[in-house]
Amino acid sequence: MAIRLFGGYRPHPGQTEFHKKGTRFLALVAGTRGGKTYAASREFLRRIYRDRKIKSGPLHYWAVSPNYPIGKIQVRGILEAISDSAKDLIVQKLLSQHELHLAGGILIEFKSGERPESLVGVGLDGMWIDEAARLKADAWLGQLRMRLSDKNGWCLFSTTPLSRNNWFFKEVVCRSDPSDPSYDPEFSWCSWTTAENTAVPGLAEEVEKARRTLPPRYFWREYEARFETFTDLVFDEWDRKLHVAEPSCVMRDYVVAGVDWGFRNPGAIVVVATDGDGNKWVIDERVEERIPVQSSGTARTWISTAKELAELHRIGRFFADPSRPENISAFRKAGLHAAAAKNDVAAGLETLAILLHPDEETGKPSLFISPECRELIAEMDGYRYDEDSSEIPLKENDHAIDALRYALMGRRHVPAAF
């Protein structure tokens, strides 16, 4: 079977190095828009058809992602790689069942790592894990690694880096380093920056723009593919003198609120207005405990509190913690415009950090907090990462911050089926 999977593909030097490595476990660490998924999808297919030449019988592979929205990127990458060269390789697309059948008795299944305990049951010939650093450690250590044992299967990893405390750095990158005690010659990795992807017009200019506007630690990670360990404080940029200000000139045509549910632990509603320059102003907050959502014989409820705030500030929408859909439904039944917020913690923290980061030219940030919002200010002062992970904040004294994150991130994205 003559197959030209690389037809029309002109890899840049970093991609070329990646394709030359032949280790059983191979990792690709690159900056955003660096072409890592483009290269990984083609290497995945190349290895599959290399197996087909030397193995008999049906072949079985998994393409794994931290969640199904990221998995859709994997699906597109594989289908684009095939359409570039050999469309007749596709025997059957059962994407609603997360399956792709290829010529030669080959099955590729698309898996999410959100529930590691579900990744069981089969031995695999190979695997590709995209955005591997964002995968739960239990998914690789507890399930995926053992799926490769009985068939001596291989694994590709592609990812934007997180920190040196992340499982991916310890279990994959360190094992690729001959000077590390955990070194294993079956592992290797390669890396390149966003700017090294010369195939995308205007990308170099975008990189320089990001360099000027992003907090350095995010720029280093997202564009230079550096494993930077974040400091103890979640928001290095936070400065009361800079970020606490009276919202005297705020245009309130667009006002939203974030809602963090709580009863035994405090709940919170934080109100955010946007001015004509796109700056965000936190103009009000309510942080209380033992307040029910609906009436249960008490005068105060979260619904009554939300109605007061809505009338006072002309709030257009309440974006709420999606973990309690029944509470969101109660808000709606009470006449409040409520929606489930997007609850991607890492993305929310990065959004907050970017807004807090002072502009290089003006020296001013894009997020300000009213001095009346005392609970939120106090939480910002002490918001820290868990000592066991520089990616996960401590779950304490964070209710107003969570509500602010929901307000800024807005509606939760509900992906369509594959």
pLDDT in tens, 308-359: 999 999 999 999 999 999 999 999 999 999 999 998 888 898 899 899 998 8
Q: Which residue has the higher pLDDT, 263 or 351?
A: 351
Q: Please check the confidence at residue 414 and state whether its pLDDT lies above 50.
A: no
Q: Indicate which CATH number applies to the domain containing 86.
A: 3.40.50.300
Say if residue 382 is in the same domain as residue 256. yes
Q: Indicate which CATH number applies to the domain containing 307.
A: 3.30.420.280
What is the predicted pLDDT for the residue at 5?
60
- State which residues form the domain around 137: 13-213
What is the predicted pLDDT for the residue at 264?
79
Q: Taking Cα atoms as reference points, which of 48, 44, 57, 54 lies closest to residue 18?
A: 44
With respect to residue 232, please indicate whether it lies within any of the assigned structural domains: no
Q: Taking Cα atoms as reference points, which of 328, 161, 358 lies closest to residue 243?
A: 358
Say if residue 256 is in the same domain as residue 370. yes
Q: Please check the confidence at residue 267 and state whether its pLDDT lies above 90.
A: yes
3-state helix, strand, coil in the chain (%, to 5): 35, 20, 40
What average pLDDT does range 14-33 have in this prediction? 92
What average pLDDT does range 188-207 have in this prediction? 85
CA distance 63 to 291: 45
What is the predicted pLDDT for the residue at 3?
55
Token pair of 245 as six digits: 């200000």
Packing angle of the helix pair 345-356, 216-224 (nearest 10 deg): 130
Kindly report whether the global pTM for this prediction surpasses the value 0.85: no
Whole-number average pLDDT of the chain: 86
Q: DSSP for 177-230?
A: -TTSTT--TTEEEEEE-GGG-TTSTTHHHHHHHHHHHS-HHHHHHHHH---PPP
pLDDT by residue (tens digit) across 27-52? 999 988 888 988 999 999 999 999 99
Residue finishing a domain among 196, 213, 230: 213
